[in-house]
Chain A
């Protein structure tokens, strides 16, 4: 059986070749990561098929997200303004004292308001709100005149700019009031202030410095904010500090990840190392298995970055997990080594080759199928995991005998573990098996009836509840428009964009009046299209100053001979002027400017608090040219749903192909290798649904991994089905234990996606390991290849 004790020349060359290739790949990886030549894509929508992607939508969402990614808003509240101001000042001073004032905006000079007034004043005769426009169009000049006179007699009126007769209807004052009404933030004693729900708040705007995605910058932020908060709270009783912003969520996620790396990560590492030490009485197997997986990952990253423009974050996460199947090959190698002299390792490996090759093939089949789907994300995952797995396999095959020179005797644990196989019952036609079948059927039936899917990505929302509560509270206090859903308006020219926005607003106003939404925020409210400005100027000229207009009525009613104002219509307000002025700052992020060969803007909505409302909003976009309804949450959720469906099909077809591959080697017995994994998978689904877990992409992904790993267990056992054989069962037990320690422990994670994945792996791998021996052919004390 053992032909040669030493490696062939070919083996030598292959090992050397692989070494050179791996070194090249390590170099490539260093260049990619250290030189930042790798583009990590995080937008889930980038995983949609190319033809379904709207580049403008993607660009728009990205720009909006970028604008928000660094922003933090702090509300310092108290029962009266002086207390809020004092606490707000303490907060601001603490931040300034930190030497990193975080782009603080709180104390705002009076000059700013002057700037605003000066900017819009020249255009006052051509700016109207939609209510004003409607009133001027529909109400008789006599009535308007009467109202103007009524306002004139009031002891105190609304703020008005310039002389009464220049603007008897106070159109400009009301226009500014409407613009001001878009924000609840006011200036109080030179500070940004908010008055809501009977309380006063000092409003502080911060901006995270440095890169928006720098974890270091996010982490550096938290202690500063905590200090400032303590300083604010110390100024008196009843002070409340609300802090919101994406950097906080990111920092919280990073903290949690760090915590979990410390607990789950280290726990699983210790578990795996201890297991290896006891089973093999050496650390070498663990190091080499890790090496094989590491090489696999590096190769996968190199291959993907050469084949694709950028690497998607999801590819990295999922792909890295899928490459984890390589655990099985290394463990199988070392289980085979146990109790054999070191010089036999070459021969042993040759002997193991067909089995390990089959194990690898059955896994790669599933991964490769992912590449046939039209989704670029799945293709990337397929290429990543298949190339990674192949590289890990090759590493075991070509390198392990060189690196693994020591002797490996059976340890007590390995002998004990491996011999447990003998205790396993075998499924047969008897009452005992019948009972088990009944229990399994019961679980499947009960679980199947409750099985439901939910792809809403908000389920994956992972931020601390306190942070979410503050976010909701601040959103309500400030009446902020939502950014997750919006209209994207595109046009060939800037003016066309503004005109299309105006057409959209005309359709939204009835919805505001019906209370579907409470309002909207649009650039064209501040910067009307030129056509609109001209039309409004003409309307004012005709209704207010024209023959039989408002002014003539006023003259005759109050008996004053008021002079006609000089009709000077300045050039229209243009996007360039608006953008160049600080007045555009609050809405500038909604003006996307040139986009995809044209121009674009974003219109956001207020009071969109219920998903059902979207059914009234989305159809509006279809009626208007150049208008898109963008629902990021919905789209991402639907991407997840489609990936889940596709993945489910891929798994189903994989089972078929794996069965064919198994049949080729095992003939009629093939089902014994596959059935335990299939049963484990459906049982896992049933158990998950009984536990109230909705089905998500992450569960399905785990099922693919369970197929890849579980079938290996079947193959290894079926290859040597004797109940007395120690090595096969030891191999699959160690592999299953490592997998459970690596992935199953993720069930303890607080991150929902990881928890779903971990829980599925925990059930699936556990059950596959438990069931596989029971499916082995009965009464095989000698190798009987044809026993069914």
Chain B
């Protein structure tokens, strides 16, 4: 009957929908395409606190409205991270390395929603979780997100998004000193329908 889980509750908690009314946010919102289907390549560099050199990885991603995200790493090893409404699954070949179900852990939806919003540049959704500041010139823009909630702020001290009609770069600073920087390229939204092969990635 009682609440048993404040820890994770806090860490993964959903933000309030308090109003955010930054002009910059709405201007960025107008520029972003936010298509039904978004494909692209990524290059991720992660500097883990205490590691001498950053960890580099490359691969492609697929963001589909109402379905979720498939994040496929090619280098340095092949692995797939699938985030749907109901679960998070990480696989290496045929081996399921990690799986978390939303029915067991409701926060799965929040995590997935957050990543989805970051990749897709869903500024309104992000505004629920973060305070948004930023700057923009004729071609590009940059948003600096700081968590509205102490709980989330304990995990991520700062998130930066840079882009034009697409999000081109995400920089995440974690409170434990880890820094992740992801660069996107070759983004396209055509065809707007998933190919058969793409659809199977969600299965």
Most A-side CB within 10 Å, residue of B1, B13, B97, B149: B1
Q: Decide if A179 touches B5 in the complex (CB within 8 Å).
A: yes
In the assembled complex, the Cα of A478 lies from the Cα of B14 at a distance in Å of 18
Interface hit among B29-37, B106-114, B133-141, B188-196: B106-114
Residues 149-193 of chain B: 1 if any A CB is under 8 Å from the residue's CB, otherwise 0?
Answer: 111000100000000000000000000111010100000000000
Q: Decide if A110 touches B5 in the complex (CB within 8 Å).
A: no
Interface residues in B79-115 by Cβ distance below 8 A to A read: 79, 81, 90, 92, 95, 97-98, 100, 104-107, 109, 111, 114-115
Count A-B pairs with CB separation below 8 Å. 166
Interface hit among A151-159, A450-458, A627-635, A709-717: A151-159
Residue A146 interfacial (CB < 8 Å): yes
Residue A162 interfacial (CB < 8 Å): yes
In the assembled complex, the Cα of A434 lies from the Cα of B141 at a distance in Å of 105
Task: Return A232 CB to nearest CB of chain B, in Å.
Answer: 18
- A179 contacts across to B, CB distance below 8 A: 4-5, 7
In the assembled complex, the Cα of A146 lies from the Cα of B91 at a distance in Å of 11
Q: Decide if B50 touches A81 in the complex (CB within 8 Å).
A: no
Task: Return A69 CB to nearest CB of chain B, in Å.
Answer: 12
Residue A269 interfacial (CB < 8 Å): no
Say whether, besides A110-B10, A189-B15, A156 and B111 are in contact (CB < 8 Å): yes
Q: Decide if A176 touches B4 in the complex (CB within 8 Å).
A: no
Residues 161-189 of chain A: 1 if any B CB is under 8 Å from the residue's CB, otherwise 0?
Answer: 01111000000000011011111111111
- B51 contacts across to A, CB distance below 8 A: 558, 560, 562
Say whether, besides A150-B97, A156-B111, A187 and B13 are in contact (CB < 8 Å): yes
In the assembled complex, the Cα of A210 lies from the Cα of B195 at a distance in Å of 65
Residue B130 interfacial (CB < 8 Å): no
Task: Return A477 CB to nearest CB of chain B, in Å.
Answer: 11
For chain B, which range describes its interface: under 10, 10 to 19, 20 to 34, or 35 or more residues? 35 or more
- A68 contacts across to B, CB distance below 8 A: 1
- B48 contacts across to A, CB distance below 8 A: 152, 163-165
In the assembled complex, the Cα of A779 lies from the Cα of B97 at a distance in Å of 97
Interface hit among A20-28, A192-200, A338-346, A697-705: A192-200
- B79 contacts across to A, CB distance below 8 A: 150, 153
8 Å CB contact of A183 from B2, B12, B17, B115: B2
In the assembled complex, the Cα of A117 lies from the Cα of B12 at a distance in Å of 14
8 Å CB contact of A165 from B50, B100, B104: B50
In the assembled complex, the Cα of A205 lies from the Cα of B17 at a distance in Å of 24
8 Å CB contact of A189 from B8, B98, B149: B149
Say whether, besides A150-B90, A163-B49, A185 and B44 are in contact (CB < 8 Å): no
In the assembled complex, the Cα of A96 lies from the Cα of B90 at a distance in Å of 47
Residue A444 interfacial (CB < 8 Å): no
Residue B73 interfacial (CB < 8 Å): yes
- B1 contacts across to A, CB distance below 8 A: 68, 71, 73, 205, 478, 480
Task: Return B34 CB to nearest CB of chain A, in Å.
Answer: 19
Residue A108 interfacial (CB < 8 Å): yes
Residue A82 interfacial (CB < 8 Å): yes
Residue B9 interfacial (CB < 8 Å): yes
- A177 contacts across to B, CB distance below 8 A: 8, 100, 105
Q: Decide if A176 touches B7 in the complex (CB within 8 Å).
A: yes
In the assembled complex, the Cα of A361 lies from the Cα of B178 at a distance in Å of 91
Q: Decide if A586 touches B176 in the complex (CB within 8 Å).
A: no
In the assembled complex, the Cα of A183 lies from the Cα of B97 at a distance in Å of 25
Say whether, besides A150-B92, A158-B100, A188 and B2 are in contact (CB < 8 Å): no
In the assembled complex, the Cα of A428 lies from the Cα of B55 at a distance in Å of 107
- B76 contacts across to A, CB distance below 8 A: 153
In the assembled complex, the Cα of A689 lies from the Cα of B49 at a distance in Å of 78
- B150 contacts across to A, CB distance below 8 A: 110
Q: Decide if A187 touches B44 in the complex (CB within 8 Å).
A: no
Q: Decide if A110 touches B151 in the complex (CB within 8 Å).
A: yes
Most B-side CB within 10 Å, residue of A147, A158, A194: A158
Q: Decide if A188 touches B3 in the complex (CB within 8 Å).
A: no
Besides A165-B48, A186-B8, 20 new A-B residue pairs in contact (Cβ under 8 A), listed by A number:
A81-B16, A108-B6, A110-B10, A143-B95, A150-B97, A155-B71, A162-B176, A164-B50, A164-B176, A164-B178, A180-B4, A180-B8, A180-B105, A183-B2, A185-B3, A185-B9, A186-B107, A188-B9, A194-B106, A585-B2
Residues of A within 8 A of B (CB): 68, 71, 73, 80-82, 85, 108, 110, 112-113, 116-117, 143, 146-147, 149-156, 158-160, 162-165, 176-177, 179-189, 192-196, 203, 205, 478, 480, 558-563, 585-587
Closest 9 CB pairs of A and B: A180-B5, A183-B4, A180-B8, A187-B9, A185-B3, A113-B10, A186-B9, A189-B16, A586-B4
